[in-house]
């Protein structure tokens, strides 16, 4: 499992390192909106999982997946910078809104994690990926983020239910 995560992390870093090479074609509004939406979604799940850790303690899978969400947000921020876009801060982290969203039990929080990861995959497949199809660098990162959600995060949350 750790070697699989390490290889995915290395591939992810390679993707980031080549991104500036592709960032030559200007982004249309749909692609800009897709990047902003993806970043907001990563911020939201990161803040939600951080609130779960605050409430339930350093429990799996929240602790590992929260760090992954931070890495995902960083990758998206790097893409935005490559295209000259402003990267907004995560104003959801530590917010009362996120804390109030959490259910009473860890099991219910894990179910919320399942729902968030299922929604994440649908968001990428139905909305975000089609909006950036002419930008190979963004498409690659979006696919990696979607795949991490589907192949790593979702199974981890299903196990903790």
pLDDT one-digit tens code per residue, 12-63: 554 555 455 555 678 999 999 999 999 999 999 999 999 999 999 999 999 9
pLDDT (0 to 100) of residue 119:
94
pLDDT (0 to 100) of residue 80:
96
pLDDT (0 to 100) of residue 21:
54
pLDDT (0 to 100) of residue 25:
78
Domain range for 47 is 27-160
Number of domains in the chain: 1
CA-based nearest residue to 55, from 13, 105, 14: 105
Asked, for residue 19, whether it belongs to a domain, the answer is: no
pLDDT (0 to 100) of residue 18:
45
Asked, for residue 13, whether it belongs to a domain, the answer is: no
CA-based nearest residue to 147, from 16, 9, 2: 9
Asked, for residue 4, whether it belongs to a domain, the answer is: no
pLDDT (0 to 100) of residue 19:
52
Asked, for residue 7, whether it belongs to a domain, the answer is: no
pLDDT (0 to 100) of residue 13:
53
88: left (phi over 0), alpha (psi -120 to 50) or beta: beta
As a whole number of angstroms, the distance between CA 136 and CA 159 comes to: 34
Residue with tokens 């592709």: 22
Residue with the bigger pLDDT between 66 and 161: it is 66
As a whole number of angstroms, the distance between CA 157 and CA 149 comes to: 10
């Amino acid at each position: 499992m750790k070697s699989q995560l390490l290889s995915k992390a290395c591939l992810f870093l390679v993707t980031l390192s080549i991104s500036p090479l592709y960032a030559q074609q200007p982004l249309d509004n749909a692609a800009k909106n897709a990047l902003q939406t993806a970043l907001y979604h990563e911020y939201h799940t990161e803040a939600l999982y951080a609130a779960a850790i605050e409430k339930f303690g350093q429990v799996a899978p929240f602790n590992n997946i929260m760090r992954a969400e931070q890495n995902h947000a960083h990758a998206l921020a790097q893409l935005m910078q490559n295209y000259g876009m402003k990267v907004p801060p995560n104003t959801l982290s530590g917010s009362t809104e996120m804390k109030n969203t959490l259910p009473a039990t860890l099991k219910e929080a894990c179910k919320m994690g399942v729902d968030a990861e299922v929604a994440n995959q649908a968001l990428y497949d139905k909305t975000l990926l089609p909006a950036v199809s002419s930008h190979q660098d963004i498409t690659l990162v979006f696919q990696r983020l979607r795949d991490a959600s589907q192949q790593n995060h979702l199974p981890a949350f299903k196990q903790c239910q």
